[in-house]
Copies of this chain bind each other. A is one copy, B any other.
Amino acid sequence: MPRFSKAVSSLRSSEIRDLMTLASRPDIISFAGGMPGNDLFPVEEVEELYRKLESKHKQAAFQYGPTPGLPSLLESLAGFLETKGLPVKENRLLITTGSQQGLNLLAKAFIDPGEPVLVENPCFIGALSAFRSYEAELRGVPVDRDGINIEALRHETERPEKAKFLYITPYFHNPAGVLYTTERKRELIETLQGTDIPLIEDDAYGDLSFFEEDRERLKPIKAINPPGIEVCYTGSFSKILGPGLRLGWMLVPEEIYQKCELIKQSADACSPSFTQVLADQFIRSGQIYSYVTRVREEYKRRAAAMVAALREHLPSYVEWNEPRGGFYIWLTLPEGADATKIMMLALEKGAVFVVGKTFDPAGKRNNSLRLSYCNNTPQEIAEGIPIVAHAIRQVCG
């Protein structure tokens, strides 16, 4: 038996992997994945952009790039982020190998074994996994339909052993689907100010908004730029170009950038130049804007199909949100219900989703489940949701 490190000895095999294997079976309707629909990728557009590149730029796509990212992409991405009001000039931008790597670098920058960090409950599983891999103590703070619970957050910030950071996904939360209200963001800012607890603001889904009137709610806290809080803003090309490119970014204060760049050097030296060249062209051609508009409409259509099916088939004791953007609908079942039982039953009939405890920082609470509509046709949704609803009734009555 190899003599593994302590951090790794405690890592357990992930249930989500087995689930994804199931979810890829063609005979099963999967509401499990958080991956964009394959049919939506801008395959031809990107191929055409690459084809037209000068030879020297194609060569550079094969070569190592600087650890923080290709200068041309850093420039074009800065322009893209400035359209969201983000303070690009007063911070530093670092290209990461997916936003997953961004969370991992921040985890390594801040966490010593046993130290507490604050996360939402439920919480994005990739963040939980990154923080667990540095042996953080995960302190969950409940999320309601307006955002994180402020009273619970205040309680956590007042505990004697101070948390190393607070991690949130305020814009079309994964898995809870929530879009924070402007008021809740304001309260969160006030609660954090003066606590010396940095904020990690994960904005992977913010571009996928269904309603023009949500513009103000979508303004990142990083763009509000509140005094007295160090905000580490992370984002991703996964939902607005393609996760297979493995490109994300962080926009962070100088000191935090310096540490993350050093950590990244030893993590993978640099992110793929090849896909950075593609992303750069996608932004510079302006196609990113038209593409985002297109997928936003498509996801809105899929969400509407799922909302209609849920309205028709779900028992009334199930609580859920109508999505205003993003990929997910979160169902809350009666206290004590076991989503795993429901999943097993649904699976037998040919539909699958992710059970609630996957997203619980403590890995326990299971009277909830996540449905994703991003990768399904309205027809699949109309077929799959009755299966889920039936399984819920079988278990919860």
A25 within 8 Å of B (CB atoms): no
Most buried by B among A238, A245, A266, A270: A266
Q: Which of A33-41, A208-216, A353-361 contacts B (4 or more CB under 8 A)?
A: A33-41
Q: Which residues of B contact A256 (CB under 8 A)?
A: 2
Give the distance in Å from the alpha carbon of A3 to the alpha carbon of B116 in the complex. Answer: 12
Is the pair B263, A11 in contact by a Cβ cutoff of 8 Å? yes
- Closest-by-CB residue of B relative to A61 is B244
A289 within 8 Å of B (CB atoms): no
Enumerate A238-264 residues with CB–CB distance to B below 8 Å: 238, 241-246, 253, 255-256, 258-259, 262-263
What 1/0 flags go to A18-49 for Cβ under 8 Å of B? 00100000000000000110110101001100
Enumerate A75-119 residues with CB–CB distance to B below 8 Å: 97-98, 100-101, 104, 108-112, 115
Query: Main SS of chain A's interface residues?
Result: helix
Is the pair A109, B5 in contact by a Cβ cutoff of 8 Å? yes
Residue A35 contacts which of B64, B108, B244 (CB distance < 8 angstroms)?
Answer: B64
Using a Cβ–Cβ cut-off of 8 Å, how many residues does chain A contribute to the interface with B? 83
Q: Which residues of B contact A97 (CB under 8 A)?
A: 97, 246, 268, 272
A364 within 8 Å of B (CB atoms): no
Q: Which 7 pairs, one residue from A and one from B, show the smallest C-beta to C-beta distance? A: A62-B242, A244-B273, A41-B62, A129-B266, A246-B272, A133-B266, A38-B59
